[in-house]
């Protein structure tokens, strides 16, 4: 049997091999996400909360609420520099 014939016999495994690589990468991604959540979760929660406040302040206040929005941006800058 030639090398080419061996490869042809294995070609049916291609989708399974691809699925295995994909599952491996998904598992690794989930593990990394869990580590980030454990280490950075509280900080990310603060950042997310400020981002929501900024969007809401800009949505609700328009130009009238520029000072409040600037204060929120200052808090965000402080968090991002930690």
pLDDT for 43-76, tens place per residue? 999 999 999 998 888 877 665 567 778 888 899 8
Give the C-alpha separation, 18 to 2, whole Å.
24
**Residue 34 lies inside a defined structural domain of this protein:** yes
**Residue 2 lies inside a defined structural domain of this protein:** no
Structurally, the chain folds into a number of domains equal to: 1
Instruction: Note down the domain range covering 43.
Output: 11-80
pLDDT for 33-43, tens place per residue? 999 999 999 99
Reading the block at residue 37, the tokens are: 């959540």
Tell me the whole-structure pTM to 2 decimals. 0.57
Q: Are 75 and 50 in contact (CB under 8 A)?
A: yes
* Residues in CB range of 51: below 8 A, 6 or more apart: 76
**Residue 61 lies inside a defined structural domain of this protein:** yes
């Amino acid at each position: 049997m030639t090398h080419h014939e061996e490869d042809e016999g294995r070609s049916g495994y291609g989708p399974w091999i691809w699925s295995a690589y994909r599952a491996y990468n998904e598992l690794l991604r989930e593990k990394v996400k869990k580590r980030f959540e454990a280490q950075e979760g509280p900080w990310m929660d603060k950042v997310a909360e400020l981002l929501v406040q900024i969007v809401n302040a800009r949505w609700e206040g328009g130009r009238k609420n520029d000072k409040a929005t600037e204060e929120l941006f200052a808090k965000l800058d402080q968090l991002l520099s930690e």
